[in-house]
A and B are shown apart, each in its own frame.
Chain A
Amino acid sequence: MRNGRPSDILLGGLCALAALTGVGALFWIIADLLQLGLPQISIGFLTGEVTESGRSGGIGPILVSTALILLSALVVAVPLGVGCALWFSEMIPEENRGGQLLTASIDLLASVPSIVFGLFGMVFFCQVLGLGFSILSGGLTLGCMILPIMIRTTISAMRAIPCELRPAAAALGLTQTTTLGKVLLPRAVPGILVGITIGVARALSETAALIFTSGYATRWPGSLSDSGRAVSVHIYDLAMNIPNGSARASASALVLLLLILTINLAASFFSDRWLAKQSASCSTLNG
């Protein structure tokens, strides 16, 4: 029977199984990581040096290198991305050819696999620009990767600003600089922050692009031109190359997951604040 109970129960059951698979895998992975890695985590682990290729000691230098890599990425991607987005959304009309070309180029950039960024970074930053295997090379490569994220989130942050503000500012004789700096950008800041957090989460997860650019060193980094490894690369090395490295790898994985989770929560927090701000200001405009 087509619409009889048996077919409904069958479909519902199959779909429930499907839903459970995804959720089940999530819990399975986290449970395994906790089981193997949690006992390894301590303050000593988080701050200590890397010894025995990572089988013992801690991940202190690695966390510092990771932070430096992220910082380099942001220093490049945020100004460039926000600037590009502002040009696209405020300075040119909709049908502008340059704008369309830019959209296509950013879409294409966003689709490039991370390993290819690694290839590019290795040639361009390490060799051509002479930076060698360094934190800076890794950071700049990651900056290229998260550039599309910054651009897209900033554009939607600008788009969410009510249209009336722009002619209002113009009617008051404000220059574009003032309009942008004092009227529009402040409204877009939470949205841009959301973009930064998404970008950071993406960069933290990245491994392939860093393997060929930032190197493998495990010492405390002295400067941006030193080689250094990120947490994700450390996990990769421990898993693939170091026998008995699983326990430390799990612990590092837990730390990485915690970092990403915190950042994603920060992103939700910012976007909630952003939405709250939007509705508040719209009502004052109408009220």
Chain B
Amino acid sequence: MSRSLSDCILKSSLGFAALLSGSVIVAVIAFLFHEAWPALSSGKLSHFLTDLKWQPGSDRDPQYGIAPMILASILVTLLASLIAIPLGVGGAIFQQFYAPTFLGNIHDRLLELLAGIPSVIFGFWGLTVLVPAINKWHPPGQSLLAAALVLALMILPTVGLTSRSAIRSLDPGLLQGAAALGIGRPSMILRVILPAAFQGIGSGCLLAIARAVGETLAVVMVCGNIAQIPHSVFDPVRPITSTIALEMGYASSDHRALLYASGLILVVMTGALVGWQSFRREPLTPSQKG
């Protein structure tokens, strides 16, 4: 209960700040909807989602199929995850079970440094180093593979740091019990520790994947920017984020509305991933009773 004028003012102003803060996401979604409405209400939505050609610039017959971009986003994310998750978890296992503690801590610091590198620098490095290297192997260089590799490097720290944290927070009694049963190190890690840390590691992976889906800069610089369905990892692709980034500058009404609709799709995808992650944390695991 406020007992003075200053308290009343305090409560109102803080409440106002909270209201304003909470409304930002509402405003974001509302404006996205507003700009995307021409596309959403045109009745061509199903075409939009499933058509395979994207040629909005064509005057005679503009094509607006976003399916190749959705597919590209999914493929790039999937490939990046397949690379980053084993590397991240493997690194965490090395830190916890095979390396001395000080080395493990240094590794954490280095991963944090890696995590701090802005995406534009990853993209720049990918463009100047990775793409030419892939080009030598199999042209053109700018490709699904390049995008996946760069993205994998970007999400590796998230997976590694959360995995190590999850393993460390396991009950030490678990390790002691496994050791007392004469279970050797590799079996202990693979059959006891990893299943027990599964939830924590899984959270880290979901967060990493959500970040990968929304990542724009690094990917747009190395993916080749051709809106097509790739036939191999060496083909150029164009995920949703890159499409928005590249075409927003010159898109006109219909085209622009579709780009905003793509933005909405992105919000749905990342929101769903993050929502799933927090939902997994909610139901409490059955604790030891009695």
> CB–CB under 8 A between A and B in the complex?
yes
| Residues of A that sit less than 8 Å from B by CB | 2-4, 7-8, 10-12, 14-19, 21-23, 25-26, 28-29, 32-33, 36, 79-84, 86-88, 90-91, 98, 101-102, 105-120, 122-124, 128, 144, 147, 151, 175-177, 180, 201, 204-208, 211-212, 232-233, 235-236, 239-240, 246, 249-250, 253, 256-257, 260-261, 264
The answer to whether B2 touches A176 (Cβ under 8 A) is: yes
Contacts of A256 in B (CB 8 A): 118, 121
Contact A91 B21 (CB under 8 A): no
Give Cα A250 to B15, complex, Å. Answer: 46
Q: A22 vs B98: C-alpha distance in the bound complex, in angstroms?
A: 17
- Residues B17 and A79 in contact, CB atoms below 8 Å apart: yes
Interface SS of chain A: helix
- Establish whether residues B248 and A177, one from each chain, have CB atoms under 8 Å apart when the complex forms: no
Mark B40-52 against chain A: 1 for CB-CB distance below 8 A, else 0.
0000000000000
Interface string of B144-188 (1 = CB under 8 A from A): 000000000100110010000000000000000000001111110
**A105 contact from B14, B25, B32, B94, Cβ within 8 A:** B25
Task: Please tell me if the beta carbons of A108 and B274 are within 8 angstroms of each other in the complex.
Answer: yes
The number of inter-chain residue pairs (CB within 8 angstroms) is 271
Is the beta-carbon distance between B245 and A19 smaller than 8 angstroms? no
For A232, the chain B residues whose CB sits under 8 A away are: 118, 120
B263: CB under 8 A from chain A?
yes
Q: Are B32 and A120 in contact (CB under 8 A)?
A: yes
Residues B177-228 near A (CB distance < 8 A): 182-187, 189-190, 210, 213-217, 221
Given A115-B244, A208-B217, CB of A109 within 8 Å of CB of B25 = yes
Cβ–Cβ contact A239 & B187, under 8 A: no
Provide the residues of chain A in CB contact with B26, threshold 8 Å.
105
- Comparing B58-66, B125-133, B229-237, B282-290, the segment that makes contact with chain A is B125-133
Contact B116 A113 (CB under 8 A): no
Q: Which of B114-142 contact A (CB under 8 A)?
A: 114, 116-125, 127-129
Q: Contacts A119-B260, A122-B248, A211-B248 given; 19 further ones with Cβ under 8 A?
A: A2-B186, A15-B91, A15-B93, A15-B97, A16-B99, A18-B90, A19-B90, A19-B107, A22-B88, A22-B157, A29-B122, A80-B17, A102-B18, A115-B266, A147-B21, A206-B118, A212-B248, A233-B120, A260-B117
